[in-house]
A = this chain, B = another copy of it.
Amino acid sequence: MPDLQPWSRLRMGVDYYPEHWDVSMWEEDALLMKRTGVKIVRLAEFAWSRLEPAEGQFDFTWLDQAVDLFHHHDIGVVLGTPTNTPPRWLTDSCPDVLPITASGQPVHAGVRGHRCFNSPSMRTYASRIVHRLAEHYAGHPAVEGWQIDNEYWLLECHCTACNERFREWVKAKYETLDEVNRSWGTVVWSGEFNDWTQITTPLGGSPFQNPSYLLDYYRFQSASAAQFQQEQIALIRKLAPEHYITHNFHSYPQKLDLHQIGEELDFASFDYYPNTSPDKTSTGPYSGALSLDLTRGIKQRGFWIMEQLSGPPGCWFPMWRTPQPGFIRAFAWQTIARGADTVVHFRWRSALQGAEQYWHGLIDHSNVPGRRFEEFTQLCEEVNKAAANLSGTTVQSEAAILYASDQLLSMGIQKQSEGLDYYENIKQWHKALTKLGIGVDVIHTDAQLDSYKLVIAPHLYLMDEALAERLESYAASGGTVILTTRSGVKQMNNICHMEQLPALLSRCAGVTVSEYDPIGKDAHIITTGDASYACSQWNDLLVPQTAEPIAWYNDDFYCGTPAVTRNRFGEGTVYYTGTQPEEAYLIRLLREAASVAGLSCFDKELPEGVQLTVRTGEQASYLFVLNLSREEAVVELEAAYPSLLTGEVSGRELTLPPYGVEILELPREHA
């Protein structure tokens, strides 16, 4: 693997905070890490007050000592820039650092993130500390790369700087107030602006706002985060050009534009905390699978887990259940199975102090390694052994789900019907694909589609001619597309199209919506002729133009009206689902679409909790078979394959214990 990027090697890591522990403990910690098989540590992300204890007084000696120590033990270092937690002296002397709520209250220090992306002071001081750090560690042999800040979320800040920058952003986008008024539809309710100073952040008081304005405000805040990050990236690229740069995303869905944030990163990272509760086993692993696929889609390449669950989380909520035996190992393998190259566990040892004492690490407060640490040790051994084979392999999918934060935001601004949720519906499609064993990329609506056989495009609510034409051209050239309700509803400025739905997509879908019924949580039925299925949320009454109906409503005043259609478009096929059917129908429809698209899938669904994915490399392909459930599971494979973990050849009927993991080497033709 000569041209493998430094970040693409398969490795295990831990998050470690030397500043939280007496210096006398460091050596023993580092030694145990080394023995356990840890290859990388993340350091320093929140340590601003130790790196710059007072304004302009920098002290990197302690970090030098820690980095040297890890270097000594052959453990690589990723440094976090500490900008998520400005220190007291900074918020004290420059209160403009703090975000301001809609009612004008500062967001004081507490649970991190007490910094406005647009604050001039924040920008100044953040650049200075990052400059110093990059300069200092550029040449250190242990330091490989950087994590910028920590777990961004979309701030809704209303400080003076945010107001000024928002005004500039709007001016840059629209140039004239007339264009602003037109694009936001401000004529409604006398909201027209006749002076630039009238443009402000949503200042509060009214619970609802003009949706076009609000969408732009969110876009602006997302752009602010990206710009804030870019200042740091530019410094590091200049001072430490050999280092890689990432950011640790978390908790999807995020209002933030992940793809915009990801643009200048080398790779994306994700902080992964799958739910440990037995009540959540059925949904937890599927929701997690989507998170991982979505993270892989940010850069459309391998990614890192920068924080991986190591024990019961807690603190902001009552503690979760402790992970069952096998849970920590299985969910770490799940991340690798879906494209993670490095898995960093959070955290080495549970914090004794501060607000995160019960976000448990691998080792408990007592510093006595226990059951969870043993499991981590086994995991490290396995990963390190498999690294030779798996490093350089990647996940390659023939199906894609389209996703964009713009769609998420606009559908969130005005709730369509009770229960209709953009991201939750994507979860439903993703789970149905997963149960059929179909690997899927989750990619931005702007991404290239050519390499896919099947594209599922849930709720393309905002739609312009360019996007419509890309889908048309994809379908015309032989692609298979699945469209859903609430597609083509609006222009990119969140103003409705004056056209029968799915508006611009009617051309390729060959269908129009004569009217719709927002059924919400009311129970309704569709029929395919041979079987009936429950549906909910929304019913579009369809009028096929060139399409043929393949399912019909079976109740209410529109009984007999088409509910799902299929349209031959050029060389391809476009499905339109006018309602949100239950999982059984999604699976049926996907199985048909997969067949149309020439994509193989499992005849029977996989057992609940079982997930299959493939990593493919130049030499070989590896099939990951994971049982992410508390029950034993049996999977019928096409053939028997040798196990990368045990070296033995599996049976065709593979029996996996609870949280069982198998990795099989596929014969050449699969690669």
Contacts and interface: CB of A to CB of B under 8 A. Distances in A.
Interface of A: 17, 19-20, 46-50, 53-54, 82, 85-89, 92, 98-99, 101, 103-112, 114, 184-195, 197-198, 202-212, 277-279, 312, 314-322, 324-325, 350-358, 364-368, 370-372, 414-420, 495-501, 514-520, 522, 557
A92 to B, nearest CB: 5
A633 to B, nearest CB: 18
Nearest to A25: B498
A89 to B, nearest CB: 6
B205 A105 contact: yes
B357 A209 contact: no
A320 B518 contact: yes
Contacts of A497: 352, 365
B208 A355 contact: yes
B414 A198 contact: no
Contacts of A87: 190-192
Contact of A195 (B46, B92, B321): B92
Nearest to A518: B319
Given A190-B49, A207-B111, A371-B515, A499 B105 contact: no
A412 to B, nearest CB: 12
Contact of A105 (B194, B204, B211): B204
Contact of A557 (B49, B207, B325): B325
B212 A353 contact: yes
Contact of A92 (B110, B197, B277): B197
A192 B53 contact: yes
Contacts of A104: 105
Nearest to A514: B370
A654 to B, nearest CB: 23
Interface of A is mostly: loop
Given A105-B104, A321-B517, A189 B355 contact: yes
A103 to B, nearest CB: 5
Given A48-B190, A85-B189, A314-B518, A208 B92 contact: no
A180 to B, nearest CB: 11
Nearest to A420: B318
Q: A-B pairs with the 5 shortest C-beta distances?
A: A110-B206, A185-B353, A188-B354, A107-B205, A49-B190
Nearest to A17: B188
A355 B210 contact: yes
A515 B88 contact: no
B353 A20 contact: no
A319 B419 CA distance: 11
Contact of A190 (B85, B99, B211): B85
A10 to B, nearest CB: 29
Contacts of A110: 202, 205-210
A351 B17 CA distance: 55
Contacts of A278: 522
Contact of A88 (B185, B191, B209, B351): B191
A522 B325 CA distance: 18
A415 B50 contact: no
A222 B495 CA distance: 37
A185 B325 contact: no
Given A88-B191, A194-B88, A514-B370, A495 B352 contact: yes
Contacts of A105: 103-104, 204-205
Nearest to A538: B319
Contacts of A47: 190
A106 B353 contact: no
Contacts of A364: 500, 515
A366 B500 CA distance: 5
A285 to B, nearest CB: 18
Given A366-B498, A518-B320, A114 B197 contact: no
A102 to B, nearest CB: 9
B318 A355 contact: no
A501 B186 CA distance: 56
Contacts of A209: 110-111, 355
Nearest to A313: B518
A623 B350 CA distance: 52
Given A418-B318, A514-B370, A517-B322, A106 B203 contact: yes
A442 to B, nearest CB: 26
Contact of A321 (B314, B499, B520): B520
A211 B355 contact: yes
Contacts of A20: 187-188
Contacts of A354: 185-189, 191, 210-211
Contact of A414 (B54, B88, B108, B358): B358
B357 A211 contact: yes
Contact of A315 (B50, B92, B184, B414): B414
A515 B370 contact: yes
A365 B49 contact: no
Contact of A188 (B186, B351, B371, B522): B351
Contacts of A85: 189-191
A353 B188 contact: yes
A316 to B, nearest CB: 6
Contacts of A184: 353
A59 to B, nearest CB: 12
Contacts of A416: 314, 318-319, 358
B190 A46 contact: yes
A321 B187 CA distance: 28
A372 B417 CA distance: 20
Contacts of A522: 277-279, 321
A198 B89 contact: yes
Given A108-B203, A319-B417, A518-B319, A353 B495 contact: yes
Nearest to A322: B517
Contacts of A89: 194-195, 198
B208 A315 contact: yes
